[in-house]
Amino acid sequence: MKQSEAKEHIEKLRKEIEEHNHRYYVLNQPLISDFEYDILLNELDTLEKKFPEFIIEGSPTHRVGSDITKEFEQYEHIYPMLSLGNTYSEEELREFDTRIKKNTSGSIEYVCELKFDGASISITYKNGSLFRALTRGDGNKGDDVTLNVKTIKSIPLKISDKTVPTEFVIRGEILMPRAVLNKLNDERLKAELPPFANPRNTAAGTLKLLDARIVASRSLECMIYFLLAEELPHDNHYDNLKEASEWGFSVPDSIRLCRNIDEVIQFISYWESERKNLPYNIDGVVVKVNSLSQQEELGFTAKSPRWAIAYKYKAEVASTKLLSVIFQVGRTGNVTPVANLEPVLLSGSTVKRATLHNADQIALLDLHLNDMVYVEKGGEIIPKIVGVDHSLRNENSKRIEFISNCPECGTALIKNEGEANHFCPNYLHCPPQLKGRIEHFISRKAMDIDGLGEETIDLLFSNNLIRNFSDLYDLQLEQLVPLERLGEKSASNILRSIKKSINTPYHRVLFALGIRHVGETVAKTISGRFRSIDDLIKANHEQLTSVREIGPKIAMSIIAYFSDNENLEIINRLRLVGINFSDNKNPNLTSNTLEGKTIVISGLFQKHSRDEYKELIEKNCGRNSMSVSGNTSFILAGENMGQSKKEKALELGVPLLSEIEFLKIIGEE
C-alpha cells in the first residue's frame, strides 16, 4: 500500500471506529458485533505500526473502552469488581477442581449459578436503605446509576429484616427478558425506529438513560449473585444468597449446592439443553467454592478470584479455507501463530483470522496450506481452529511448520520443558519485546507514567532515544521538543510524570520490571517476603519456592532474570535515579509486630473505626481477612461481634482479643 493510500485508509478507519465507539458506549446502539469491531481496530493498529508517521494522539488504538460516561458521576467500588476465568471443557473443570483441592484444606462444596447475559451492578445498602448503585465500569470505579436502579421493581429500596448488616454490598445482573425486548422492538418498528440488537445491550443501554421514567417503563429485572459485607450472616456463599432472598432480593431458584465436581457437571449438562426454555439469555454456568474461609484461603489473581470459574457453552462452528499462517512476537517473547482465513460468517460476524496457540496445536491439527478448517468462536476475541476436513485436502499441499527463529530479530527460539509456547530469549534486543517491556513498565498498574503511550514509545524508539526503560530517566527536554506531535508542553508533562514515578512503591516496581511469569499479585507476594531487591537477587531456588504462590517455574524465571548482567545494569541505573527497590522506604510502615498474622475484625469499637484498625494492621505488617478460618491468628473483637464469627472462632479455637489488648500488642495503649 502506498503512503497516500495508507493515510486515507487510516483516517477512514479512525472515523468509522469512533462512530462505533459512540454508538456502543454512549448511545448503546451497536451496529456491528464485538468481533467485527476488533477486526477494524486490529486493521488500524497494523497500519499505524506500518506507517508510524500517521499516528496521532488520541487514536482509537490507544484508548480503553469502559461503560463509564460523562453524564454520570463515578465512585470507587468498595470491593473491586473482578472478572472470571473461563472454560469450555469438562476436562478443564476437573483441573479447576484439582487445583482447588490442592490449595485449600477441608472438604469442598460448590455453588452453581446460571451465567445470565446482562449488565453487572453493584448496590450498597446502609442501615437497610439503598444508598448507591454503580455499574461495573473499569472494575475499580463505576457510574452512579442509583436513580435508574431504584425504578427496578425486583430491587428493594428498604429492608427491615433484623439480620441485615449495617452496611453491605449486593451484586447482580440487570436483565431484560426476551419477551420484553420483542415487545419493545415491535413498538420501535411501528414507529419506524431501528430495533434493539439483543437483550444484553438493551439492558446495559437502558441502565445509562438519563430519564428514569423510560428506565421504569422497560421492565428490567435484577438477579442477585453475590453478597459482600464485613459482617455476613453466614460463613458460606449459598446461605448468604438464600438470606438475601429472605430480605426481598431476587435470587434465582436455579442455584444449586453441589457436593463434588460430578454434580457440577450434571448441573451444567442439564442447563445446556434447558436454557432455551428460560425467559432470559444465559451463556454458561458460574461455579464458586461455597465456603468463605476457603475462598479467602484461595485468594485472587490480579484479574479474577481463584475460587470461581465460568463454564461457557460451546459456540457455533464454521468451515473455511486456511490461506496462510503468520507468527507474532509478544511482550514476553512468546511467539503466537495466527491463521489467515478465507472470510466466513460465524455467530453473526465475519471471521478472517484464528489463533493456533502454539506448535503443539499446529502439529495436533496436522495443518496444511489451503486446508478446509473448522473454526469456533468460543469466548475469544480471535476465534480458534478446532479441526481439519482431511477429505478435502490437496495431496500436494504444503505442511505448516512452526518457525525455528524469531521473525523479528532472527534469534533461535526456545521451548522450556513443561511449557507449551516457544519464545524468543533475546528480550533485551528484540524490537517488539523491547517496546513491549517499556510499555509494560510505564503502564498504570506498574510505574504509571502519564503522557507516554504506545505511539510515543514507538517515536522515542525509532529516534534511538530509548532502548530499555532505564533510558526514560535520561531523557531531556531538548531531545523531546523537536519530535513530531510532541512540543514543549507535552514534553514537559512527560518528563514531570517520569520524575514522579520515582516514588512508585517497591511491589509495583517489581511488577514493572517485567520478569517472566511475575504478575501483579506475585510481585506483591514477593515484596512481602523479600523486602529489598538485593534480598531477592540473592535468593536461591529453595528460598523462592518456600513462598506461597511461587512454584518452580516462577522461581527459575526470577533466578534467570537476575543472572543476566544487562538486567542488573538496568536495575543499577534505576537505583541511581532513586527508584524504590526496598520496602524500608515505605513511610506507612510502623513495625513488623504483626508479620505473618492473619486478623479478622468484628464488632464496634471506641478508640478507632474499623477502617482505621485495618490500616493499623497493615502498617504493622499484618494481613486483614473477612472470614474466620484455620489460618486466622486472632479476632479483634468489639461490641456486638457477629454471632457467626464468634461460633466459628469457638469451633476452631481462634482467640478473641479486645480493643485494649490489641493496642497494647502494637504499642498504642
Closest to 661 in 3D by CA, of 607, 625, 598: 607
Tell me if 285 sits within 8 A of 96, measured CB to CB: no
The answer to whether 495 and 475 are in contact (CB under 8 A) is: yes
Count CB neighbours of 32 within 10 A: 18
Place of cell 446502539: 29
558 SS3 class: helix
Give whole-number Cα distances, 121 to 178, 324, 483, 565, 652, in Å.
Answer: 20, 43, 45, 49, 35
Sign of the four-CA dihedral 625, 631, 636, 639? positive
Residues in the chain: 669
Active-site residue flag, 276:
no
- Give CA–CA dist 558/470, Å, rounded: 19
HEC string of 568-594?
Answer: HHHHHHHHHCCCCCEHHHCCCCCCCCC
Active-site option among 2, 15, 50, 115 = 115
As a whole number of Å, the end-to-end CA separation of the chain is 75
Cell of 126: 446502609
Give the residue carrying C-alpha cell 457477629.
642
> Do residues 390 and 369 make contact, with C-beta atoms less than 8 angstroms apart?
no
State the CB neighbour count (10 A cutoff) for residue 276.
Answer: 8
**C-alpha cell recorded at residue 292:** 468463605
Say how many C-beta atoms besides its own lie within 10 A of residue 247's C-beta.
20
Residues near 210 by beta carbon (within 8 Å), at least 6 away in sequence: 71
Q: Which residues are catalytic?
A: 115
